[in-house]
Amino acid sequence: MELYVLCDPQRPPVRLQRLSSSLNFTATLTLPIPSQMLVFSLGDWSGLPSDVKVEVQLDVSGHKVERMGTLTPESRCFLWDCASEDYKASKSGKGEFSVSMVIRGEASVKASHPNQESKKKRKRLKEEMEENICPNKEPLKGQVIQQKVKAGKAGAVTKVNPGKGKGTISGDPTQRWGHALCPIDSQTVILIGGQGTRMQFCKDSMWKLNTEDKTWSPVEALADRSSPEARTGHTAVFDPESRRIYMFGGSKNQKWFNDVHILDTVAWRWRSVESKGKVPPLSYHSCSQFLGELFVFGGVFPRPNPEPDGCSDSLYIFDPQHEIWYKPIVLGDKPAARSGHSACLLDRNLYIFAGWDIPYLYNDLYILDLGLMEFSRVEVEGSSPTPRSWHSAACVSNSHFLIHGGYDGNQALNDTWIFNTVTRTWTTLVHDSLPSSPRAGSSMLSLPGGKDDGEDRPPGEILIFGGGDNNGQFYNDTVRLQISDIIDD
């Protein structure tokens, strides 16, 4: 069990540290005292007696200690208001104050020996990292803080279509989530990696889908030295000029990757890049191609204890021509650190939606202008999708993108929304060709439209593959949906 206090919604929560081998926990914070503080716990209470409780108190030098509240197995969080006039006077002061918690219960609640506690922490850390905080596990037991979105004048409108979608393609790849999917032309899509049943990494790593005859076939590729290791949470982007797929990052149990692998789709050969510059190991990040370069934002990365991992709010650029990473100067209102978000590129604007950095779960929307290298938050009119991560997303026109499914911190979702970049409104979508089962970690893409007299046609179809339902069920179905059924552009 871990104990936290949140003083500022714009900053990460502070974890209370255990004092020696006792059942006392404390965090020392800097004045002023906030008007409100959220106190919560994360982790498993099952090993504690049924009558256990955590008493929380506030201590400011020169003032009497104030009881803030109590955490119990039935009530694992509470919001404290600074109602005391005595403490209100300390809001403008300088110095420190502390939030302390004491675990109380039956005599069987004993302090663990430091060595035993260390072993338990290492075991728990290993289990968490092996699962990579996968959505396909038990519901999150801690408090999920949802970012509120200001309501506008318009409400979300449900659009119902009977549809003329081409339906589901029988899937031959094994069931999986956290894979990478990218089209290399209007008839061919490549599937790489992922994780499936019993959290096993997929041994049938790479497949090719022929969208014309609706068939999957395994892909065999040579390698200059070695093929990429199995992984999840990686990205794969196809460059039509060089006919290459660039794969970056991901994780596998306790191993995290910041490697770049190139797949030549003409010779079908892998090459590992010995890139210059620095980029951290990242998983569940986003990667978009613009003017020949790869733009990587966010993602989860390993960091030392007490946290097993953390999320990034940084932007990194990979220059394939010189095989170098660099970190650009970015202006504006930058999104908070996150992973499991989506990124859709329309013209030169990169739309970044949702994601999470435990215990924060977002449904905000940001634009990164890749010409000016400036972030700005989108003020949405009307309703927005609920907070989520590990949803899938795809551009469906010059002014619309689509999101589907995801994970809300407790369960997988199956709703679908379209965002209109002109009106800045979200619209819910119901369509008989969309997957009906809730899923997170699936992939969605718009199939290229091909060419007419040398000119690129707009995409005509959406493809959705795989995912998991948060109850141990993984999917390998491939769903096709006509874009003309969704929008009138």
Q: What DSSP string describes 115-143?
A: HHHHHHHHHHHHHHHHHTT-SSSSPP-S-
Query: Which residues does residue 355 pair with via DSSP β-bridges, in sequence order?
Result: 362
Q: Name the residue with higher pLDDT: 143 or 246.
A: 246
- From the CA atom positions of the chain, what is the Rg in Å? 24
- 193 membership: H or E segment, kind and range: none
How far is C-alpha 433 from the geometric centre of its chain's CA atoms? 25
* For residues 198-205, average pLDDT: 84
Query: What type of residue sits at position 334?
Result: K
Band the pLDDT of 146: cuts 50, 70, 90. Answer: very low
CA geometry: angle at 229 spanning 471 and 187, to 5°? 75
Beta pairing, strands 244-248 & 260-264: antiparallel
Is 60 exceeded by the pLDDT of residue 10? yes
* For residues 361-389, average pLDDT: 95
pLDDT score at 119: 40
Average pLDDT of the chain to the nearest whole number = 81
Beta pairing, strands 315-319 & 286-290: unpaired
**Across 59-63, 68-72, 125-129, 284-288, least confident range:** 125-129
Distance CA 285, CA 290 (A): 16
pLDDT score at 47: 64
HSE of 27, CA atoms in CB hemisphere, 13 A: 19
* For residues 123-146, average pLDDT: 38
The DSSP 8-state label assigned to residue 147 in this structure reads: P
* Burial per residue of 471-485, b for 16 or more beta-carbon CB atoms within 10 angstroms, e otherwise: eeebbbbbbbbbbeb
Tell me the C-alpha to C-alpha distance, in Å, between residue 477 and each of 136, 145, 468. Answer: 17, 33, 11
Is 70 exceeded by the pLDDT of residue 115? no
Band the pLDDT of 123: cuts 50, 70, 90. Answer: very low
How far is C-alpha 487 from the geometric centre of its chain's CA atoms? 27
**Across 268-282, 305-319, 437-451, least confident range:** 305-319
**Across 6-10, 140-144, 261-265, 447-451, least confident range:** 140-144
Query: In order of start, what are the domains of the chain with their CATH numbers?
Result: 2-111 (no CATH), 158-485 (2.120.10.80)
Whether 460 and 484 have beta carbons less than 8 Å apart is answered as yes
**Across 33-42, 151-160, 459-468, least confident range:** 151-160
pLDDT score at 162: 36
Is 70 exceeded by the pLDDT of residue 140? no
**Across 33-42, 159-168, 301-310, 403-412, least confident range:** 159-168
Query: What type of residue sits at position 103?
Result: I
* For residues 455-463, average pLDDT: 78
pLDDT score at 160: 36
The DSSP 8-state label assigned to residue 275 in this structure reads: -
How far is C-alpha 173 from the geometric centre of its chain's CA atoms? 24
Span between the terminal Cα atoms of the chain, in Å: 52
Band the pLDDT of 487: cuts 50, 70, 90. Answer: confident
* Cis peptide preceding 308, ω within 30 of 0: no
Is 70 exceeded by the pLDDT of residue 165? no
Whether 151 and 382 have beta carbons less than 8 Å apart is answered as yes
* For residues 164-169, average pLDDT: 52
* For residues 366-384, average pLDDT: 95
Measured in degrees and rounded to the nearest 5, phi and psi for residue 117 equal: -60, -40
pLDDT score at 462: 92
Tell me the C-alpha to C-alpha distance, in Å, between residue 486 and each of 395, 430, 444. Answer: 12, 9, 15
Distance CA 175, CA 297 (A): 27
SS3 at position 174: coil
- Cα torsion 419, 187, 295, 415: sign: positive
Model-level pTM greater than 0.95? Answer: no
Distance CA 388, CA 340 (A): 8
SS3 at position 39: strand
| Tens-digit pLDDT profile for residues 213-261 | 889 999 888 887 778 999 999 999 999 999 999 999 999 987 899 999 9
